[in-house]
Amino acid sequence: MKGVILRIHPEAMLVDVTHEIDAFDIVAGALVVKGLSRYYPAGTIHVAVVDPGVGGERRGIVLRRDGQTYVGPDNGLFTYILDRGPGMEAREIANADFMLLDPHPTFHGRDIFAPVAAFLSSGSEFESVGPRVADPVTLKIPHPQSSEDGIAGEIIYIDRFGNLTSNIGAEQIRRAVRSVSIGDVRIHGISRFFSEVEEARPLALINIFGLLEIAVNRGNAAQALGLAKGARIRVVWDE
């Protein structure tokens, strides 16, 4: 992909964000796009490829929002960009002038997404990529459920350190928190950083994706608590 980009746009500045997403983990990819893209300069083109359905019916897509552009498969990878409300434009990748000749049905990253990004970065028009898309795909990530006394959600992602990311966003925690319960553990309040609790003790904090996370200070929460994706998590307000 990098070679293809540099052949089309030799002055492009390439930045590796991550190559550590599991092969088919679209949710993890979506969280990285959510958490990181806003820190990049206006004009950045984000190419993201987590693409288990490559070669099948899924579309390729280009999104534009807030001065940034996103290129990749239309499989939910950009869910969190799409859920930010109006102001988003989307195009299906259809113009063969933007692709390598005879793109391989398996290597869309190299043969389609990389060249599209390179052409856009070197001045090609967003509108010329292909027709407008009204209904980009979004992941069916379960919504947390609010009640009188708190909010209930679940674990949607576990990173390589065993930290557990829930579907509860920072913006949904509008009141002081008495406790966070998960598995057999009840955690008191929300920490601001890991070393606020003793080593090997669990804590809850807002993580780099802007979501409530359960971690263990200097430990692996998934292993220590015996939890997996889908584990239920419950926040109780402090009165």
Residues at the site binding a copy of itself, with contacts judged by CB under 8 A: 2-4, 6-7, 10, 13-17, 23-24, 36-37, 39-41, 44, 52-56, 104-107, 110, 161, 192-196, 205-208, 218
Compute the least distance from the CB of residue 87 to a copy of itself, in Å: 20
Closest distance between a copy of itself and the C-beta of residue 16, in Å?
Answer: 7
The residue among 5, 47, 13 whose CA lies nearest residue 29 is: 47
The HSE-up count of residue 46 (CA atoms within 13 Å, CB side) is 29
Q: How far is the CB of 223 from a copy of itself (least distance, A)?
A: 13
Residue 52 or 131 having the CB closest to a copy of itself:
52
If the CB atoms of residues 23 and 134 are measured against a copy of itself, the closer one turns out to be 23
Report, in Å, the least distance between residue 51 CB and a copy of itself: 9
User: Which of residues 85 and 105 has its CB atom nearest to a copy of itself in the complex?
Assistant: 105
CB of residue 184 to a copy of itself, shortest distance in Å: 25
Q: Is the dihedral of CA 215, 218, 224, 229 positive or negative?
A: positive
150 or 203, CB closer to a copy of itself? 203
Cβ proximity to a copy of itself, 186 vs 218, nearer residue: 218
CB of 218 to a copy of itself, least distance (A): 6
Between 100 and 152, CB nearer to a copy of itself: 100
